[in-house]
Homo-oligomer: A and B are copies of this chain.
C-alpha cells in the first residue's frame, strides 16, 4: 500500500473552492490558492472535500475543480479527490471520472441519506476499491452520514488492502487512539485527523497527518505545527496549535441567526483568503449566503491579531 500513496501524510488541506459572484468556479483564484498552499509547505491537497463545498457543486463544477487543482499542482504534491455520493454505484461512477482526470487517491464516505449497516459499509468500500485502481481513503464523518466506522471494520479493510488510509472526523477519541495502536502493524496506512484545533494532540496520539480546513487560511502555521511534532518538540507544536485555535474563531463571525455552521465556516475561510489576497471573492454556493462586510471586518480583525494581514 505504501508504494501506492507516497506522500499522503503530514498537512493535507481540504482545498476550498473559490467561486465568482455568479456562482461559477473561479479558476484563477483556485490556481492562486493551490500555489499559496504549496508555497505554504503542504504535503498533499484534498480536493472536493466538505470544505471544498463538494456537496454543493454540480458534476461540471466538480470536474472543473479537479482539472484546475491537478493542473496547478502539476505533480508537486499528490491530489486526493473526494467522491462523495450517497451509495456505491454512484461513488464508483464519480471515482472513474476522477481517476480519468489524474488524481492520485480517492476519498469516500459510508453510504448516506439512506439507512445502512456495517456489513453494507464493508461491501461498499470493497466494491469501490475493486472498481477503481487508485488508493482509497475512508472518510469517517458521522455528523454527515450518521454512521461511525468501527475500528474492527477499518482494520479489516486496512489489512485486506482495501483502504490506504482514513480521514477521521468522528470525534471518537477512544476509537481513534486504539486504531492508531492497531495500525502500527501497517506502517504504510495513513491515519489523518480532521480535527483541526487539536492536531498536536492527535499527532501525539498517533496520527500521520491532518486535514485542516483552516489550513487553507494559514498553511504555514500547520506546516510549523507538523514539523515541531515530527521532531518531538511538543511544546512548540502546542504553542502553534493554540495560536491556530484562536485563529479558528473566524468561524464564529457569521450571525448564527441566519447562517448554518457550514456557511459560517466556509464563509470565514473564503473571507479570510480574500482578505489575505489569495482569492477574489467570498461567494458561497446556494442556499448559503456569503458573509457580509461587518462579518468580514470581524474576520480581518482576528487575522490582524494573528499577524496574518
Binding site for B on A (CB under 8 A): 23, 50, 55-59, 61, 84, 86-90, 93, 111-117, 119-124, 127, 143-146, 171-174, 176-178, 181, 195, 197-198, 200-202, 204-206, 232, 234-235, 238, 241-242, 245-246, 248-249, 257-263, 285-289
Contacts and interface: CB of A to CB of B under 8 A. Distances in A.
A238 B181 contact: no
Given A172-B171, A234-B204, A55 B114 contact: yes
A195 B181 contact: no
Interface centre among A90, A246, A285, A286 (most CB of B within 10 A): A286
Given A89-B23, A261-B115, A286-B124, A197 B173 contact: yes
B86 A55 contact: yes
A59 B86 CA distance: 12
A198 B173 contact: yes
19 contacts: A23-B89, A56-B89, A59-B93, A61-B89, A84-B113, A87-B285, A87-B287, A88-B287, A113-B113, A113-B144, A115-B260, A115-B261, A120-B260, A120-B288, A171-B171, A174-B198, A178-B248, A201-B205, A234-B234
Contacts of A90: 56-58
Contacts of A285: 87-89
A217 B8 CA distance: 39
Contacts of A145: 113
A287 B116 contact: yes
Contacts of A177: 197-198, 241-242, 245
B123 A287 contact: yes
Nearest to A121: B287
A90 B114 CA distance: 18
Contacts of A144: 113-114
A200 B205 contact: yes
A174 B248 contact: yes
A288 B59 CA distance: 25
Nearest to A259: B117
A263 B121 CA distance: 12
A57 B93 CA distance: 11
Contact of A287 (B55, B59, B61, B127): B127
Contacts of A93: 58-59
Contacts of A173: 171, 173, 195, 197-198, 201
A113 to B, nearest CB: 5
Contacts of A257: 119
